[in-house]
Structure 1
């Protein structure tokens, strides 16, 4: 849950890097909350209004964490545009599964060295 909240707190941060754990934990909790919204919409009979509001609310954080994940493997965030090409989402899925670059790169320090409780304090 801390990863989901971390991504939401940094909702428009397209710089830096996101580890696989950060990305996939955000994706997991995002899917769980989306399913919960669908269930609540179904119970209330609101025609997916709550679901649509939730998905709009997490649109920018989802793109931001995806771009930071691409940075973590040494790719530019422009690769995210492959999602709009047929079968490009599969390439992005493969990129999301790749391990982090082992050292710091041009996009920032290795995510394992970030203190997620206090991002201003970097630990060695």
Structure 2
């Protein structure tokens, strides 16, 4: 949960690096929040009335729009952790293979050496041979 909160606090921080754990814990809690809001929306009584129907249908979508900037920021920092530019997020626009390749990039381990975006948060102060 700390990683989820720290990503929201660093919503506009596109510099630095984000470990795999931070990225994937944010993704996990983000998905849990969307599922929770979807279930909550379906449990609200009076679903046939127009205002309640609008709320139940759009509640998860409003959350996903609100979480776009933190998701983008943590994704850019994740690319920095693998010694890649944040522009690698654009690989997602390549049909079929782009999403798979971006997934592979997010699963890769951190680069232990210091790069253009700072020291490794995983190997900080540890000598790697």
Q: Normalised by the size of structure 2, how large is the TM-score? A: 0.84
Q: Tell me the CA shift for residue 112 of structure 1.
A: 2.6
1:119 equivalent in structure 2: none
**Matched ranges for 1:36-115 at <5 A:** 36-44=36-44, 45=47, 46-87=55-96, 88-112=98-122
Q: What are the ranges of 5 or more consecutive residues in structure 2 without an aligned counterpart?
A: 48-54
Paired residue total: 116
Q: Tell me the CA shift for residue 30 of structure 1.
A: 0.5
Does the Cα contact within 8 Å between 2:4 and 2:29 map onto a contact in 1? yes
2:31 equivalent in structure 1: 31
Q: Normalised by the size of structure 1, how large is the TM-score? A: 0.87
Could you say if the C-alpha distance between residues 4 and 95 of structure 1 is closer, same or farther in structure 2, counting changes exceeding 3 Å? Answer: same
The Cα RMSD (Å) is 1.6
Q: What are the ranges of 5 or more consecutive residues in structure 1 without an aligned counterpart?
A: 115-122
- Aligned mates of 1:47, 1:82 — CA distance in 2: 33
2:52 equivalent in structure 1: none
Q: Tell me the CA shift for residue 84 of structure 1.
A: 1.5
Q: Tell me the CA shift for residue 12 of structure 1.
A: 1.2
Q: Tell me the CA shift for residue 58 of structure 1.
A: 0.5
SS of the residue 1:32 aligns to: helix
1:2 equivalent in structure 2: 2
Q: Tell me the CA shift for residue 47 of structure 1.
A: 4.1
- Aligned mates of 1:48, 1:3 — CA distance in 2: 28
Larger mean Cα displacement after TM superposition, 41-50 or 95-104? 41-50
